Structure 1
């Protein structure tokens, strides 16, 4: 009984210190638009401390990229370096997931259901996903080297919370952007008493989408 009380006390103290640490954190709000001023969805915004301090990777979690109706869901997924990702196939046909990206070369040959083992992503940067059976299936995993990241919604906005006060290099990546990710980098100062707002205008490339193919009634394609 005494050990249980001690364990509960240690847990409460740990939660208190965690709350104290986060209570002094700030928030970064970003808005991303295209060359025509329209909101950009699925833009990844990353904030890295300029002092080079090691930041604890707090966002480790279960990560999945689903295959639903012959599409990758979500279209863009952000994970931390070292994260494992599962690729459950929720269609009633088989898929063949692969990537030839420098950051991660792998393949999951034809399968249904959920693979027994996840894929680990241990190098920062974007990874493009394809399907060997359905050429129009295209998805992306961005492997982040900082826990302070967000992904824009349909309104082009994202909110990065629990950011410790200080100076940061903030950059943006999008699968259809022209130019390098590094060219978007800006300095920002995060204050615990205010919301830091930033805005980017990206030039997006025209994107040719391979049309979906229907195999007809009863087809397993």
Structure 2
């Protein structure tokens, strides 16, 4: 059996396994405020994760001289589009180890896209607007989400063992923990987290970018 056929078989097997629910609530240890837009991923330990469907595409737009969304999470192999919905040109780039790239100056209404094959954190910037920053977290699993305005995150995945990974730019390092999901038994794991100060540059009238 070749590798492509094996991945298809594993994906089919994963789809037939009993589903289990994982949920967490993320809060700031200082004051108890919810941690918004943290990435939460379940990486299977007992079998390979199904690959990302080729039809899946994410988007990080530029508007109001800011990136939207500020934090994006995708599975490795996903194509990410970078549409310019602004009134000025942008030059999107990253110097991150997992994906170094440049999308040279392109005009309002233009769009570029890239496939992100390697897992890891990709920090995005604009070469002509120094305050613009965004984060793309590339994970080796289809079971991922972000925490909502109440700091909650919920995932449904096949029963089994997983490595839980939580990331946010205000964490000194990612939170990792091995967990086991059981058939039809909700798994609840709240976290009270120590956060670094919020040093993101704020600009008046910047628009709809997510906060934290």
TM-score by length of 2: 0.82
State the secondary structure of the residue aligned to 1:41. coil
- The answer to whether 1:96 aligns with 2:91 is yes
2:110 to 107, 114, 134: 114
Cα offset, 1:201, TM superposition: 2.2
Corresponding residue of 2:37: 42
Task: Note if contact 1:86-1:114 (Cα within 8 Å) is conserved in structure 2.
Answer: no
Partners of 1:195 and 1:58 in 2: CA distance: 25
Task: Note if contact 2:49-2:140 (Cα within 8 Å) is conserved in structure 1.
Answer: no
- The answer to whether 1:203 aligns with 2:194 is yes
**1:48 and 1:209, CA in 2 relative to 1: closer, same or farther beyond 3 A?**
closer
Q: CA RMSD in A?
A: 2.3
TM-score by length of 1: 0.79
Partners of 2:197 and 2:44 in 1: CA distance: 33
**1:114 and 1:49, CA in 2 relative to 1: closer, same or farther beyond 3 A?**
same
Corresponding residue of 1:129: 124
Cα offset, 1:208, TM superposition: 2.3
**1:134 and 1:212, CA in 2 relative to 1: closer, same or farther beyond 3 A?**
farther
State the secondary structure of the residue aligned to 1:135. strand
Q: Deviations over 1:7-60 (max 9, x none)?
A: xxxxxxxxxxx7x94582111111111222211011111112222x11213565
Cα offset, 1:213, TM superposition: 8.4
- The answer to whether 1:155 aligns with 2:150 is yes
- The answer to whether 1:54 aligns with 2:48 is yes
Partners of 1:146 and 1:118 in 2: CA distance: 21
Partners of 1:167 and 1:110 in 2: CA distance: 45
Query: Counting strand residues as a fraction of each chain, which structure ranks higher?
Result: 2
Task: Note if contact 1:135-1:210 (Cα within 8 Å) is conserved in structure 2.
Answer: no
Partners of 2:59 and 2:38 in 1: CA distance: 19
Corresponding residue of 1:170: 164
Q: Deviations over 1:109-155 (max 9, x none)?
A: 1112233x511211111111111121111111000111111111111
Cα offset, 1:80, TM superposition: 0.9
**1:30 and 1:136, CA in 2 relative to 1: closer, same or farther beyond 3 A?**
same
Task: Work out which of the two has the higher radius of gyration on C-alpha atoms and give 1 or 2.
Answer: 1
Cα offset, 1:189, TM superposition: 1.6
Corresponding residue of 2:64: 69
Query: Counting helix residues as a fraction of each chain, which structure ranks higher?
Result: 1
Structure 2: unaligned runs, 5 residues or longer = 1-11, 206-212
2:176 to 165, 185, 196: 185
Partners of 2:53 and 2:148 in 1: CA distance: 19
